[in-house]
Amino acid sequence: MSAVPDDIAADFIIEAQEILDRLGEQLVSLEQAPEDSEQLNAVFRGFHTLKGGAGFLAIHAMVELCHAAEETLGMARAGQATLQPRHFDAAQQSLDHLQSMLDAFGSGGEPAPAPSQLIAQFAATGEETYVSTPVASPSALPTVAPGNGDLIDDDEFEALLDQLHGTGAPAALAPVAAPPRPAAPAKPATSGKAPEPEQTVRVDTKRLDAIVNLIGELVLARNRLKTLRLRLRDEELDRAVSGLDVATARLQSAVMRTRMQPVGKVFSRFPKVARDVARTLQKEVELELVGAETELDRNLVEALADPLVHLVRNSIDHGIEAPGLREASGKPRSGHVRLSAQQEGDYVSIEVQDDGAGIDPERLRAKALEKGLIDPEAAARLSSDECLHLVFLPGFSTKAEVTDISGRGVGMDVVQSRIRELSGQIQIHSELGRGSRFLIRVPLTLAILPTLLVQAGQAVYALPLARVVEVLHAPRRSLGWFDGRAVLDRQSHTLPLVDLRQWLEIEAPELALLTVVVLQAGESRMGLVVDQVHGREEVVIKPLPRALRGLPGYAGATLIGDGRLALILDVDGLKN
């Protein structure tokens, strides 16, 4: 690792990571449209910028690999080479190696050089020839004489910079210069001042996290004052608290926006993921990205990356059929995978949808029985939609062979667990022969959670508002019983009930009128019988008390407006 200031190295790591994230998508787009000169230039600049930064920091392994890619891309830009499939394969593989090198550099290690076979794969053959240009000393560089009317383009300027500063690569080759262009016509003078550039500042995320935590404490104090306002009924206090409520809401929104990032930061890696998986499996797949500008809390964006990668790989590996099978069934040879995101109030919905073979619920039911994951009676009661969620059981897989790509069911329990940790939920919709759709719904931020407060006994509990469908009242005499469990007949469907008092193992009085909160739990709904509903409140999520950690049914804790501790309930844990 070179002896350079830590802040310079840190800046390079950030910039290099952003470039690598973009290059995967740009390479896929270029492979689909090789004639797109703008995309070719963008890919070339990406490798060129990486090489320059790595050269300055003496990361020779990165310089060598980027130089190999840059040479081939430079020849293509000059019209002296045609990019072949093996070049794109090499470029995509190089991104994985560059990522490993960047990780090693960031951790203070020495990046390992790329395999020589990969470097050789970039080399041109046949009619493609390379022109080697020796690096000139600064005194020998041709310069543009002032006032001669000859302008150089960006590429020529970059070549001059290369020769002036060097790249750190042994026997570095300068890009082939493009033919000189005629002088550009002079632009007419414009009146008025030029617009000022946008001013930005890079802030340590730990500082943002600290500010968010303080906002959370402020929200708790606001909720407490709102509760006191109702009790004291003082007009001046009421006006003061109302003003504080508005200011706190605005401050909370402004601070949250500073931590928001577009999900495109995650989406940008999927064209490469889809392309690599499809090439490995010899399938043809088109990936569509929708709503990449949708914003989420930075922590959520990072936490969603692995679950989404797993779902996209599964869609291609197990959902999309081989081209021949698709044609035989009347489908286009190329499969279609759609990754989309959209904001819905305080939540964001993300979908992974494919037009593949779909999931057979009866096959899932049989496989779960075969593996002993459920008993025959429970299996018989499952609807087709509920059978789909069997893929989330630990150890479940319908795959005859485990592949390096994925396994529909292998790790799907981890996907669901990760989504639950984010206070979200995942649902599956599938139709045989038509495809599958995985729907993830997560809050915009992990710091403050919209909830519905309910009471059972003397304690108050918080339910994630995203899971609440409606609140209804039903006479006790209208209850029915099915398989030893209370249910409520709602004409279109039968709603299974869970009495929160009984679940908590506290005394439950025989009330004539039941208060039922209808909750979404996977593909099905359930009714939670409570004593009272207090209403909506935004709460700050705190860790569970030590005695409750690991127990099913609890997701966290919070302080509510009256100062009491309220436990946040995990809806999926309540139905088990």
Q: Are 43 and 92 in contact (CB under 8 A)?
A: no
| 192 domain residue, yes or no | no
What SS3 state is found at 519? strand
Domain end residue (candidates: 140, 165, 190): 165
541: Cα separation from own chain's centroid: 22
DSSP string, 134-187: PPPPGGG---PPTTS-----HHHHHHHHHHHH--S-TT--PPPPPPPPPPPPPP
Q: The CATH number of the domain where 77 resides is what?
A: 1.20.120.160
Query: Please, what is the Cα angle at 226 between 222 and 229, to 5 degrees?
Result: 135
Is 538 part of a structural domain of the chain? yes
Pair 546, 232: CB distance under 8 Å: no
Does residue 194 fall inside a structural domain?
no
Buried/exposed 309-322: b ≥16 CB within 10 Å, e otherwise: bbbbbbbbbbbbbe
Residue 319 and residue 359: Cα distance in Å, rounded? 8
326 & 357 share domain: yes
- Residue 204: the pLDDT is 76
For residues 418 and 272, membership in a common domain is answered with yes
Residue 326: the pLDDT is 94
pTM score = 0.67
pLDDT at position 252 is: 80
The predicted structure's pLDDT at residue 297: 83
Together in a domain, 38 and 130? yes
Domain extent, residue 310, equals 262-443
Q: Is residue 175 part of a domain?
A: no
Same domain, 455 and 426: no
Task: With respect to residue 237, please indicate whether it lies within any of the assigned structural domains.
Answer: yes
Q: Residue 345: which H helix or E strand, with range? A: none
Number of domains observed in the structure of the chain: 4
Same domain, 394 and 406: yes
Same domain, 397 and 470: no
What is the DSSP secondary-structure string of 252-305? HHHHHHHTEEETHHHHTTHHHHHHHHHHHHT--EEEEEE-TT-EEEHHHHHHHH
In a shared domain, residues 520 and 438: no
* Sites in the chain below the pLDDT cut of 70: 1-4, 124-199, 397-410, 447, 522-523, 575-576
Task: Indicate if 415 and 395 belong to the same structural domain.
Answer: yes
